[in-house]
Amino acid sequence: MSKVLWKGKDVLRIIKGHGPSDWNAYGISIDTRTLRKGDIFFALAGPNYDGHQFINEAIKKGACVVISNAPVLNYEKKVIVVNDVLKALIALGKSSRNRNKGKIIAVTGSSGKTTVKEMLALSLSNIGKIHYSQSSYNNKIGVSLSLARMPSDTDFSIFEVGMNNYGEISYLSKMIKPDIGLINNAGSAHIKYFKSKKEIEKEKLEIIHGLNSGGSLVLNEDISINKSIKNFSKKNNIELIKFGQKDKSNNFLINYRYFPDGSLIEANFDTISLSFKMFAPGLHMALNAIAVLSVCNILDLPLGSIIKKLTNFNPIEGRGLAYDLSFQNKKIKIIDESFNANPESMISSINLLNDMDFFENKRKILILGDMLELGKFSKESHIKIARFINKTNINLVFCSGKRMKYLWDNLSKSKKGAFVENPEELIKPLTEKIINKDILLVKGSSNSKIKIILSYLNNENLIREIA
């Protein structure tokens, strides 16, 4: 079994719990499906579930103890009672942060957070002991869980910070207390909950309020630094470092070229020029790499060694993963961008497909689901994407969803593949129109259910996965 993460007597003191203290924990769980023997199980209650219903299962699977808001009959030696299970998890997360002496990095942005986090984790994997949040654990529960799981002796820990309401970024950043904050971008994701894109940008900048004195904030050059941020950074000795494509930024992309076997990237870091290849395609991936290298530069790490790691970074499922398929005896290429979508990430994905000019005699096909959580900006945003597509060399567009009707109605007639309200209905026209050597990019918000199309296509035999 792995090293002890928490001792029982320490946990009881931290969470102000009542119950047994003679135990050791090797992990933290909030889900019995992934619970491992020796985990503490926090019986969290949510809008769609109540963890207390799974206490028996957690104990049977080997949980060392369960954190509950009430005693459980017949399990007195396995249950710790607290007033509030979530507050107990938050308290344990905060205590974990306070005992850790390694470098802590917090990543936020409207898109690319998880990709950048995974890039950073890969880049630092040979430098020291690392810990990083799983999946997209970036809200109050996810951050608390990731903090509580952090071993006390890590050299580098990376946390993802999300938001869909005012004050969330500041709250989470103050929990994490990062040495380095990174704002990858500030776009229109979740704009339904905000007054404007400018408000989103302002909220992203709130990550600075959790930064340790003497820390660094790395931010996309498109984000304007207001007077309040400048004053705060000066008062707390926080270094502001910008990255992007403009030579006025501290670290910037000089040139980007996309080839069939990967991307060639030229960049400048503190007057040092670097040239390297990446197998993860797209300008947005190149900028993600610049952001990661900016963080590593602050940590005074050898960028040459980091680049060797980044070169072999593989995009994540739903976030740019590309692979070849045999579909009904036709060889096609899939680019999976199905995890989520907002106007900025949609344009990045379309640009990626559009840039594939070297693929001769291959049609470029977009399969799109609704961009959600845009509120009053939804119609305008979908129409803008249609007009953008009309200027590209994309051959066909297949759309699903009520909001995608705005895009469809403004799409050039020659690019119209099919429009339906439900993604399942796209299967028939797609099957009829896909031909050999087509390149398909699938993109949409998670709740648009556009991933159904991928599930259908993937039922055919996978030829080989590519980076």
Q: Is the domain of 24 the same as that of 146?
A: no
- Please give the backbone phi and psi of residue 248, each rounded to the nearest 5 degrees, phi first: -80, -15
> What pairs with residue 217 in β-bridges?
181, 240
> Which CATH number goes with the domain that contains 45?
3.40.1390.10
- pLDDT at residue 463, rounded to an integer: 44
Q: Domain of residue 383: give its range.
A: 321-466
> What pairs with residue 136 in β-bridges?
none
Q: Rounded to a whole number, what is the distance in angstroms from the first to the last CA of the chain?
A: 34
Other Cβ atoms within 10 Å of 258 Cβ, number: 21
Kindly give, in sequence order, each residue whose CB lies less than 8 Å from that of residue 290, ignoring residues fewer than 6 positions away. 243, 244, 251, 252, 253, 267
- pLDDT at residue 467, rounded to an integer: 35
Kindly give, in sequence order, each residue whose CB lies less than 8 Å from that of residue 372, ignoring residues fewer than 6 positions away. 341, 403, 445, 447, 448
Dist. CA 332–CA 232, nearest whole Å? 52
DSSP label at 204?
H
Total number of domains in the chain: 3
User: What count of Cα atoms within 13 Å lies in the side-chain half-sphere of residue 37?
Assistant: 4
38-90: pLDDT as tens digits: 999 999 998 888 999 999 999 999 999 999 999 888 888 999 999 999 999 99
Which pairing describes strands 180-183 and 103-108: parallel, antiparallel, or unpaired? parallel
Q: Is the domain of 355 the same as that of 416?
A: yes
Angle between helices 343-354 and 283-298 (to 10 degrees): 110
Q: Is the domain of 123 the same as that of 257?
A: yes
Q: Is residue 95 part of a domain?
A: no
Kindly give, in sequence order, each residue whose CB lies less than 8 Å from that of residue 119, ignoring residues fewer than 6 positions away. 288, 289, 292, 310, 313
Dist. CA 393–CA 356, nearest whole Å? 10
- Please give the backbone phi and psi of residue 42, each rounded to the nearest 5 degrees, phi first: -95, 115
Structure tokens at 306: 């980091």
Dist. CA 3–CA 5, nearest whole Å? 6
Dist. CA 109–CA 219, nearest whole Å? 9
Q: Is residue 92 part of a domain?
A: no
Q: Is residue 367 part of a domain?
A: yes
Q: H/E/C letters for each residue in 56-109?
A: HHHHHCCCCEEEECCCCCCCCCCEEECCCHHHHHHHHHHHHHHHCCCEEEEEEC
Q: Which helix (H) or strand (E) holds 168?
A: helix 168-176
> Which CATH number goes with the domain that contains 350?
3.90.190.20
Domain termination residue (choose one: 287, 311, 335): 311
Contact at 8 Å (CB) between 244 and 221? Answer: yes
Angle between helices 168-176 and 140-148 (to 10 degrees): 10
Q: Is the domain of 160 the same as that of 285?
A: yes
Q: Is the domain of 133 the same as that of 273?
A: yes
Q: Is the domain of 256 the same as that of 369?
A: no
Q: Is the domain of 117 the same as that of 76?
A: no
Q: Is the domain of 383 the same as that of 426?
A: yes
- pLDDT at residue 464, rounded to an integer: 42
Dist. CA 465–CA 317, nearest whole Å? 11
User: What count of Cα atoms within 13 Å lies in the side-chain half-sphere of residue 294?
Assistant: 33
Residues of the chain above pLDDT 90, percent: 75
User: Within the chain, which residues score under 50 in pLDDT?
Assistant: 461-467
Q: Is the domain of 304 the same as that of 328?
A: no
Q: Is residue 316 part of a domain?
A: no
- pLDDT at residue 196, rounded to an integer: 83
Q: Is residue 36 part of a domain?
A: yes
Q: Is residue 196 part of a domain?
A: yes
Which pairing describes strands 416-420 and 396-400: parallel, antiparallel, or unpaired? parallel
Q: Is the domain of 334 the same as that of 211?
A: no
Domain termination residue (choose one: 311, 346, 373): 311
Contact at 8 Å (CB) between 90 and 156? Answer: no
Alpha helices in 333-425 (DSSP H): 343-354, 378-390, 404-409
> Which CATH number goes with the domain that contains 127?
3.40.1190.10
DSSP label at 446?
G
Q: Is residue 43 part of a domain?
A: yes
Instruction: With H, G, I as helix, E, B as strand and everything else as coil, classify residue 365.
Output: strand
Residue with tokens 């408000």: 199
> What angle (nearest 5°) sits at the alpha carbon of residue 416, between those of residues 415 and 422?
140
Dist. CA 139–CA 393, nearest whole Å? 39
Q: Is the domain of 340 the same as that of 410?
A: yes
Domain termination residue (choose one: 259, 289, 311): 311
Q: Is the domain of 149 the same as that of 268?
A: yes
